[in-house]
Chains A and B, each alone.
Chain A
């Protein structure tokens, strides 16, 4: 489904290369965890997959179902079914969550030649997901993420994921800074959406989230390269020994 080949990426308009040749293949239904120390390039990888203009792909390719997405705008990637749960979701004054998600859903359905959901049908879906994700409905009357706590912002990301129903969901340190309840909510969000046709790439520093969401494949990313790949046991090993050994070698 998602294939990354020899991916190199740098900060746009600079020589600062952050990703230095990444190979990764995520099949339908798989959950991949990408672990690594601070500054290893984990978040950059998540951003590059979604097409953040801050970074430029300098070499290699990213394909979805065999087609390269490197030249695509972030919204075009979203139309393919990609989703990035942000580490630091922006606060967007004057834009209501419902209004924003309806526009996003309409844009994707429109791009894919599907019929736009009626206001009524969308509202029903929205309300269902608000309840499912367990986000305070009062927050939905505010501007998007404005005055939300860290945990509420992450739950809101889960709400967006639930409403947009992506095929490839990338989570950028969604677990960082969360208390145990919020972490559980994020894990529930992922577990409820796991399906044979949906893939997840979970970027995380700690193993915490992986206690709740069992990954199929675990990669260790150090200094812009994947240095080890294994099954869920690899995450336990990293938890026990830390990244010290990898960093020393790489």
Chain B
């Protein structure tokens, strides 16, 4: 199950090991004093800390395929601190950055902690229970620490987190919106380690919106881990919105285990952070399960976005679709590493993978690395990747009708993203993200130089 991270990685000494150790020691001491958390949580913290302390950040990239294109030296150079969350952040200030409508059940975390001063907004739904993640017996079962610096860090600093427990046969519940706000303020370079576990009961249908957003421009580190376990015939619509600040670092891990006839559909929207990475693995463990991993990413200036997208079919009749689209400008860079594993016996698997990129500048670069490991013989598996500039004829076509260059360029960029954004059934969310793209448009266009010259 953890094959993704099992490759033997050379340990790297942590430059600021003392900072991390001091923060961890006082965190653990604090937790023991409070005596609230379970033994399991204590154990997970210890395992996480020991593993992180052993391996350090994967800065040595030689022979390490998982980190071939993403350089973490600047992460290692910064002493990211773990500490009490900023206080005095109002719900109004957060609502200016992300929608918190009554139509959703909103839960807000500030600097990794569910802020008791900010009441959950929206109403509670029957059949959905929110608890501390530390109460979850299966915590860490899907996201293992071994050889994974970021899951280890998250586990080492495991706080209350959020356990989303959805009963079986729950049909209509409001979308659950979990917002992680990083303040980045009053602690220098702050690190936050959000943790969510979701259990979707048999025959239930739910929507999870996971939003990451920064309140300040400074450097901060966000390391979320999400574990999702889906029962038979359940459906989860998962939206992931990454709007962290341009100087921040975001290393996310999502692990999904799907039961028979379950449907997991995710759409991710990533435009934040200086270096961002999302490592997703869906495991189709029950027959006739469907997994859809879609996303759109926008990068500009010197941003770096890395997508490690994996699907493992271990039983027959599974369907999966990985489809990401990137819009790159300036001297930014993106990595798409799509992996499909079809284990022996997973016959009649139907798997697709696609990564399409629109390069708006000569300085932008995308590295696409498809990897298909197929050990069954009766499967359908297709993959494709492209990186292209805006078509000059198309631009001329739009201009010839009276639309100026910038407007035509923006139309084509928006049109490129629309294929993914149009899939978002929640109209409030779709509109919010379309507006976010529009807000980014001037920066994308300013750093562009290839349109009309390709």
A residues lining the B interface (CB < 8 Å): 50-54, 73-75, 77-79, 83-84, 86, 88-95, 100-101, 103-105, 107-108, 111, 143, 160, 164
Q: Is the CB of A107 within 8 A of B412?
A: no
Contacts of B69 in A (CB 8 A): none
Q: A84 and B400 in contact (CB under 8 A), knowing A90-B393, A94-B417?
A: yes
State how many angstroms separate the Cβ of A62 from the closest Cβ of chain B.
15
Taken together as a complex, chains A and B put the C-alpha atoms of A143 and B398 apart, in Å, by 13
Q: Which of B396, B418, B419, B422 has the most CB of A within 10 A?
A: B396
B391 proximal to A (CB < 8 A): yes
> Is B121 an interface residue, CB under 8 A from the partner?
no
Contact of A86 among B392, B397, B412 (CB under 8 A): B397
Closest B residue to A107 by beta carbon equals B402
Write 20 A-B pairs (CB below 8 A) sorted by A numbering. A50-B396, A51-B400, A52-B396, A52-B400, A53-B392, A75-B401, A75-B404, A75-B405, A90-B393, A90-B397, A92-B412, A93-B418, A94-B414, A94-B416, A94-B422, A95-B412, A103-B407, A104-B401, A104-B402, A105-B402
Q: Mark B331-354, 1 if CB is under 8 A from A, else 0.
A: 000000000000000000000000
Q: Do B411 and A74 have beta carbons less than 8 Å apart?
A: no
B403 touches A89 (CB 8 A): no
A93's nearest neighbour on chain B, judged by CB, is B415
Q: B33 → chain A, closest Cβ, in Å? A: 55
The answer to whether B26 has its CB under 8 Å from any CB of chain A is: no
Determine which of B393, B397, B415 lies in contact with A94 in the assembled complex, contact meaning CB atoms within 8 Å.
B415
Q: Are A92 and B415 in contact (CB under 8 A)?
A: yes
Q: Is the Cβ of A78 less than 8 Å from the Cβ of B405?
A: no
Taking A78-B402, A90-B391, A105-B402 as contacts, is the C-beta distance between A53 and B418 under 8 angstroms?
no
Q: Which residue of A lies closest to B413 (CB)?
A: A94
Q: How many contacts A-B (CB < 8 Å)? A: 87
> Chain B 399-441, CB within 8 Å of chain A: the 1/0 string?
1111111011001101111110010000000000000000000
Known contacts A75-B401, A84-B400, A100-B403, then 13 further A-B pairs from the complex at CB < 8 Å, ordered by chain A residue: A50-B396, A52-B400, A73-B405, A75-B405, A79-B402, A86-B397, A90-B393, A90-B394, A94-B417, A95-B414, A103-B403, A103-B411, A107-B402
Known contacts A74-B400, A92-B412, A101-B401; is A53 also within 8 Å of B452 by CB? Answer: yes
Q: How far is the CB of B400 from chain A (nearest CB, A)?
A: 5
A52 CB contacts on chain B under 8 angstroms:
396, 400
Instruction: Output the nearest chain B residue to A84 by Cβ-Cβ distance.
Output: B400
In the assembled complex, which residues on chain A have CB atoms less than 8 Å from the CB atom of B393? 88, 90
Q: Smallest distance from the beta carbon of B230 to chain A beta carbons, Å?
A: 31
Q: Please give, as numbers and ranges, the residues of chain B lying within 8 Å of A108 by CB-CB distance.
A: 402
- Docked Cα-Cα span, A86 to B391, in Å, equals 15
Q: How far is the CA of A89 from the CA of B398 in the complex (A)?
A: 10
Q: Are B416 and A93 touching (Cβ within 8 A)?
A: yes
Known A53-B452, A103-B407, A107-B407: A92·B401 in contact at CB below 8 Å: no
- Residues of B203-248 at the interface with A, using a CB-CB cut-off of 8 Å, are none
CA distance A92 to B409 in the complex (A): 12
Of the candidates B405, B415, B416, the one having the most CB atoms from chain A within 10 angstroms of its own CB is: B415
Known contacts A92-B412, A94-B418, A95-B412; is A74 also within 8 Å of B399 by CB?
A: yes
Which chain A positions have C-beta within 8 A of B411? 92, 95, 100, 103
